[in-house]
Structure 1
């Protein structure tokens, strides 16, 4: 057996043993770290879902009672928030299946980092939505036959993108500031020190 293979097998055995021990009896701090992330994810889904339902209800009523640019504004609010409602529903279903039980430190940290990345990527997309809304409003100047529709849709997309930008950015900062401190304490408290995880796919 080559020295490299022997080293890899030894390291694998140690990592497997540590993971098994963590899975069997996760520390209280680790459970709290995982529980907090899962609760926050559920709150995200409920907040987005509630916002979407309110927009759908208001937009559906207002679209039937208005005309011109305002009518198209409310129409787009409904369309946009049907999509938001779907995202919130999928997120809530996924969070119901997650549990902190049996989650290792490496898994908890990976989930925490993944959530931060998703929120940060979404924040960038939200800026693109606002810019897309601006583009629609600008295009209305060259399309007088569809000016009301383009302006109404553009204003709605800018509003929805602005809300999502604030929503995603605030939640990213909460995840980062609160979760990163907990993550650091957990890593410092690990008796075996900090390890490097190299995913093999």
Structure 2
């Protein structure tokens, strides 16, 4: 290859590489605002869920030791349930802390925005299942089917503690699932209403006046 041509190609590659890097680490103000809004919202989600979980754990741990019967099991399940919630909240906060609006490309920002909406929608489906599952446990307690294989006529209520456990656990799961259902739905619509508008503007204009098209699931 001609040495001059080789030199020009090398210089061109170097310049293009620098331009691409500059675009990656220096997003437009609009793109940065879009990413920062998502990261801030994720932190709010984690803090809200974490605070709710801590409050439930504290109240449940105290109340479980001071009550009996169905109420005792209700508070015990609140503690178990919110230990999981606390872990989820901590994981979410850790992920949001690692996020940086300064290093996201348009494709990255849109993908993460769409992923958040999908996660919240999937969660709402799980939340409905939790509520239904809690109702099922309470129905089993009322039907005297705490131990289906052992239940016999006249002995359906021979284990009142088991019935209290099913009732308490079921009520707790319904309450916790109901809260999460409202929580996830509200945040999904906030993400959709606020973020989708910015997303459309970014897609229509592209970066640096270049049109960009993405297939969004």
Q: TM-score range by the shorter chain?
A: 0.7 to 0.9
1:49 maps onto 2:50 in alignment: yes
Between the aligned partners of 2:18 and 2:108, the Cα distance in structure 1 is 15
1:157 corresponds in structure 2 to 173
CA displacement at 1:25 relative to structure 2: 2.4
Tell me the TM-score normalised to structure 2 length: 0.80
Between the aligned partners of 1:37 and 1:186, the Cα distance in structure 2 is 15
Between the aligned partners of 2:18 and 2:204, the Cα distance in structure 1 is 19
1:193 maps onto 2:194 in alignment: no
Say whether the 8 Å CA contact 2:121–2:184 is kept in structure 1. Answer: yes
1:114-139 Cα distance to aligned partner (Å, 9 max, x none):
00000000000000000000110011
1:94 maps onto 2:87 in alignment: no
CA displacement at 1:94 relative to structure 2: 1.1
CA displacement at 1:194 relative to structure 2: 2.7
Tell me the TM-score normalised to structure 1 length: 0.87
Gaps in structure 2 of 5+ consecutive residues: 1-12, 147-156
Between the aligned partners of 2:20 and 2:108, the Cα distance in structure 1 is 10
Superposition CA RMSD, Å? 1.9
Correspondence 1:125-140 to 2 at 5 A: 125-140=126-141
1:112 corresponds in structure 2 to 113
Q: How many residues align?
A: 184
2:71 corresponds in structure 1 to 70
Say whether the 8 Å CA contact 1:123–1:165 is kept in structure 2. Answer: yes
What is the DSSP-based 3-state SS (H/G/I as helix, E as strand, rest coil) of the residue aligned with 1:101?
Answer: helix
Between the aligned partners of 2:83 and 2:41, the Cα distance in structure 1 is 22
Between the aligned partners of 2:163 and 2:20, the Cα distance in structure 1 is 61
Between the aligned partners of 1:179 and 1:105, the Cα distance in structure 2 is 13
Gaps in structure 1 of 5+ consecutive residues: 1-12
What is the DSSP-based 3-state SS (H/G/I as helix, E as strand, rest coil) of the residue aligned with 1:192?
Answer: coil
